[in-house]
Amino acid sequence: MSAIVTPFPHSATRALQVGFERDELQRILDLYGRMVAAGFWRDYAMDFAADAAAFSAFRRTAENPQARIEKRPALRAKQGMWTLFGEGGQVLKRGHELAGVLFPLERRLMKVVVG
């Protein structure tokens, strides 16, 4: 009697998955926390696929996302791997750096302080 050992998960059928690096996710979740504290967002979702990773922020759970931050490494050499989508799915910002792509959302948190 001979046994056949198959590694789990089988490497030939396993597709690679795009994800967020620790510092990228930290920056996104920091922004999310500040947006929740300001009352703009209440819920979020993350989606990881073979070609892209996405972070979606919701005002209410049953709605379309108010903002979606997407990372597509295949576009790194072209217009940049980071994209910010608005509530209607329109592209608000593209870029090579996450900080620049998040700036339109962070601008909503800025308040004028008169001294």
- For residue 4, tell me if it sits in a domain: no
Q: Is the pLDDT of residue 41 over 90?
A: yes
Full domain range(s) for residue 68: 22-106
Q: Is the pLDDT of residue 98 over 80?
A: yes
pTM for the model stands at 0.80
How is the beta sheet containing 91-95 ordered, strand by strand? 43-48, 53-58, 67-71, 82-85, 91-95
For residues 53 and 19, the answer to whether their CB atoms sit within 8 Å is yes
Q: Is the pLDDT of residue 2 over 90?
A: no
- For residue 92, tell me if it sits in a domain: yes
Q: How far apart are CA 5 and CA 96, in angstroms?
A: 44
- For residue 113, tell me if it sits in a domain: no
Question: What is the number of domains present in the chain?
Answer: 1
Q: How far is CA 83 from the centre of its chain?
A: 9
